[in-house]
Structure 1
Amino acid sequence: MDSSLVISWWAALAGLAIAIILILRRLNPVYSLILGAIIGSLLGGANLVQTLDILIKGSQSVMGTVLRVLAAGMLAGVMMESGAADTLARAIVTKLGDRFAILSLALATMVITAVGVFIPVAVLIVAPIALEVGKKMHLSKLALLVALSGGGKAGNIISPNPNTIAAAKGFNLELSQVMIADFIPALFALLATVIIASLLKNKGTAILDADLENLTSDPKTKTFPSLKSSLVTPVLAIVLLLLNPIGSIFHISFLTKLNLDALYVLPIAAIAGALAMKQGNKIKDFAKSGIDRMTDVVLILIGAGTIGATITTSDLPAKIILLINMGHIPGVLLAPISGVLMAAASASTSTGVILATGSFSKAILGFGVTPLAAATMIHTGGIVIDQLPHGNYFHVTANAMHMNIKERSRAILYEALVGATAMIAATIMYGFLHL
């Protein structure tokens, strides 16, 4: 691509706006992003050949992330299809008991999301348990949904999943670095979830007997693996991912030279877990399930790469820096704000983080923000309002909890408060205190 080519800032912004409008109009997100990139490039002064070069450059820039996302699919497939995630959820709820019902449900969703299960799937897994517990303890559906969704958001930012991978690789970081940095903000989100859901336990509709019919996660009709064998995959993945950071902290040269990337770690942990659960003969099925779930994410990554390249080829990052400096606004706030806005536009944490890192990383780093701080703030910003009705998460969770659209919409504000708690914690810690 012509290195001297600079697209006009307004054209790049127009391309991004067009892509977002098309997504909101329910056009396929991948086509929306690519079309936005093409229009933005052409409006900005690029010719047809230069526009194609921009698109190719953008798609090539995300290939490292694509490979790691595909690797994460293997882990997600094993955890979801083997029954391991169900086992973990039920173990947590049983251990904490009815007295701590809201905490147990939030923590269960947090843990199974944190070990690589997609947040909509995590809610689907825990929802039947939540309905059973909620009926017994007289908890409202609204309180239960906030507990599950809030716990899922907390787990989502410390999980080896596509949005964490995108946040890390968008700033050339190791996956484990972002997972560790997000841990304290995740705890703040969990605390906020428990407090908010507890205040809502008598608000909203009650659980009816009809809600308990045909529960999809009934332990009487399905055989689940043991707790010990279910823990093999997540524990092995976490241990292997943390070897390099531990080596750096304690100056153990052998560990620092290992460089065990998520690309290797996640499939290895998944296969080891499947063997431990004596389900080695199902590895092909687990792999197929994982790759099926990751296909949409990979395609969106490619689309987001094209619009990201359009923006970074323009003078928009420089204009943003100038505008923020003129307004005497702390430049560090661009990171969480971009995460919030892009995730809200796409109603997806993964897509939001991918868009924010690809489009605004250059401008954010231009304010002197460290890559780790930028990744953490964008990532936590991405979980604030990603639950809007134009995304699938809103509808999947509504169906899981047997709620109508009006009832489900009531939870959006409370879920946003949970996400905002994590974002504010991350922004204070890494943006202003520089921890």
Structure 2
Amino acid sequence: MPWYAAITGLLLAIFLILKKMNPVYSLFLGAIIGCLLGGASLSDTVNILVAGTQSIMGTAIRVLAAGMLAGVMMESGAAESIAHAIVKKLGANKALLSLALSTMIITAVGVFIPVAVLIVAPIALSVGRQTGIGKLALLTALSGGGKAGNIISPNPNTIAAANGFKLDLSSVMIAGFIPAVCGLITAVVIASLIKKKGIMVQDSDIEERKEKQLMPLNKALIAPVLSIVLLLINPIGTMLHIQVLTNLKIDAMYILPFASIVGTIAMGHIHQIRDYSKAGLYRVTDTVLILIGAGAIAGLISVSDLSKQVVHLISVSGISGTFLAPISGILMGLAVGSTSTAVILATGSFGNAILATGTAPLAAAVMVHTGATVIDSVPQGNYFHITANSMHMSIKERMKVIPYEFCVGGVMTIVATVLYGFILK
């Protein structure tokens, strides 16, 4: 199938998403139009879409597994307990660091980034009122920390990056650590420089909330720590050349639900496990549906010569093929306003072309992943509006945060590209 049919289908899908049409139907419609434009019959079109959607089922199952851990962390109060502990430990003198670190850690242990910001936002507003730090700096710290945590978490975006390049989830999480630390530092430095800019926190921004008993930190950490330790068994075995650990083949598909159940039992909330899992499933349903739609587009692209044409274009232009990975993540993030959707589309649409340039799968995964964080907080995405509401900011005020978020994502992408695209190539 000609490359222009695949490009037309992808662009049509993105256009419809920007026009607020349901993303799943947008992706399906783009795939159908692309197939027909490329000369496929109606029956062939159906076969292409079905084959494409079947190819993402492994990712979808792992995303559903991640939803259970997220549900436990959010609904049990474990995530809130972790956030309070970090802020209390670091104190008011290191307010911006504590806020950024809180969202980073909460996101890193499996809570989705919009929810992480929602959890920490009330604490941030209270701290901002006491210390005189403006909302612009507060949200920069929260969002920057969340972005850093998001690239080392067992969240849908990391799962999509790993499965898109046929890698272990733990490998992608570990590879994102250095870029994540650089992102955290960038967020804290930028927030510190602008802490007196923008609108200050008002008394009306702080909601009157009843003091509630927070879960002990040692109980709150059981589920996330267990899941991360188990996921690290394979990489540790590989690094230490311990064959038994290497051969265990630990997978997020069963590790994340297992850690969630153990954590729930340890919290003494076993009777709430059904409610927690239901809440987690609700949170990942949209992502799984988008995965299915993205699979349809991936099916279209897989039967086209788009990958060959992209590789040829790169070789003719003289540009290093390494840059295709971060650029694809950046463009998809800008188009759809969602890190997870951007990674799904970038790996499905350009994955083969990226690998064909000679880029290693792990390097490709990390560069696409970090690239998707650069400018994914645009108004067409839910994250923009959720974070604006959580900080009681107008659309105009929220727009002012985007350049600072761009810097955080940009630094992580540059670090990942230099480190994995050139130094460790």
Which TM-score band (shorter chain)? over 0.9
More deviation in 250-259 or 113-122?
Answer: 250-259
Asked if residue 39 in structure 1 is aligned to residue 33 in structure 2, the reply is yes
1:76 aligns with 70
Do residues 59 (structure 1) and 53 (structure 2) align?
Answer: yes
Q: Deviations over 1:367-416 (max 9, x none)?
A: 11000000000000011111000111000000000000000000001101
What is the one-letter code of the residue matched to 2:212? K
> How big is each residue's C-alpha offset from its partner over 1:324-354, in whole Å with a ceiling of 9 and x where there is no partner?
1111011010000000111111100000000
**Equivalences for residues 48-197 of structure 1 within 5 A:** 48-197=42-191
- Are residues 1:289 and 2:286 paired? no
The alpha carbon displacement at 1:252 in A equals: 1.0
2:300 alignment counterpart: 310
Match of 1:427 in 2: 417
| 2:313 aligns with one of 323, 326, 332 | 323
Q: How does 1:196-207 map to 2 (within 5 A)?
A: 196-207=190-201
Residue 253 (structure 2) aligned to one of 258, 263, 288: 263
Amino acid in structure 1 at the alignment position of 2:338: S
- Relative to the length of structure 1, the TM-score reads 0.97
**Residues in 2 aligned to 1:228 and 1:177: alpha-carbon distance in whole angstroms:** 27
CA deviations over 1:96-121 (Å, ceiling 9, x no partner):
00000000000000000000001000
Aligned length: 425
**What's the CA shift string for 1:261-296, capped at 9, x where partnerless?**
001110011111111111111000001000011110
- Which segments of structure 1 move beyond 6 Å, counting only runs of 4 or more? none
- 1:379 aligned residue: 369
C-alpha separation in 1, matches of 2:213 and 2:262:
20
Stretches of structure 1 lacking an aligned partner (at least 5 in a row)? 1-6
| SS class of match (1:195) | helix
Q: CA deviation at 1:222?
A: 2.9
Structure 1 CA distance for aligned equivalents of residues 276 and 51 of structure 2:
33
How far the C-alpha of 1:305 sits from its partner, in A, is 0.6
**How many angstroms does 1:199 deviate by?**
0.7
* Cα offset, 1:223, TM superposition: 2.9
Q: Hey, what's the Cα distance between the residues in 1 that align with 2:233 and 2:420? A: 23
CA drift of 1:432 comes to 1.0
Deviation at 1:258, TM superposition (A): 1.1
Which whole-Å deviations, capped at 9, do the CAs of 1:178-223 have from their partners, x for residues lacking one?
0000000000000100011011101000111101124xxx4x4433
Decide whether the 8 Å contact of 1:301 with 1:354 is kept in 2.
Answer: yes
SS at match of 1:206: coil
Q: Distance in 2 between matches of 1:343 and 1:355?
A: 9
The AA in structure 1 aligned to 2:62 is R
Q: Match for 1:127: what amino acid?
A: A
Q: CA deviation at 1:257?
A: 1.5
Q: Kindly report the root-mean-square deviation, in angstroms, between the aligned alpha carbons of the 2 structures.
A: 0.8
- The answer on whether the counterparts of 1:75 and 1:270 sit within 8 Å (CA) in structure 2 is yes
SS in 2 for 1:172: coil
Q: CA deviation at 1:433?
A: 1.0
- State the AA in 2 paired with 1:54: I
Q: TM-score, normalised by structure 2?
A: 0.99
The equivalent position to 1:391 in structure 2, one of 361, 381, 384, is 381
Q: Deviations over 1:43-83 (max 9, x none)?
A: 01111111111100110000000110000011000000000
Deviation at 1:312, TM superposition (A): 1.9
Task: Determine the C-alpha separation between the residues in 1 that align with 2:157 and 2:48.
Answer: 24
